[in-house]
Amino acid sequence: MARSTPASTRICRVLQRNHRLSGSTSALIADWPGLRRTALLDNRDLKPTLDLRRVFKTVLDEHMHVDANTLAKRVFPDSSGARPLSGLIRA
């Protein structure tokens, strides 16, 4: 049985492809833990360095105009430590 591609690899490929298609000159928003065995999750995947709720909160707030109160209480309850990112979406 063939081993499946880790989700982190698939996500990176999608982001790279979209980055090239958009002609964007933006940078990747994350901390780089490196590729040492001790830095990998399960000895194969990059460890998460960014709470994805921050990304989703930013998109819902800045792009879809969902108010902060709704995000905090209904969409992502108990996520006060995951603040939206600044500068993620440009006009």
pLDDT per residue as tens digits for the range 15-70: 666 555 555 555 556 677 778 888 888 988 888 888 889 989 999 998 899 999 99
Contacts of 76 (CB under 8 A, 6+ apart): 53, 56, 57, 82
pTM (2 d.p.): 0.57
Q: Which of the 8 DSSP states describes residue 70?
A: H
Domain range list for the chain: 1-49, 51-91
- Amino acid 31 reads D
Six token digits for residue 89 = 């979406």
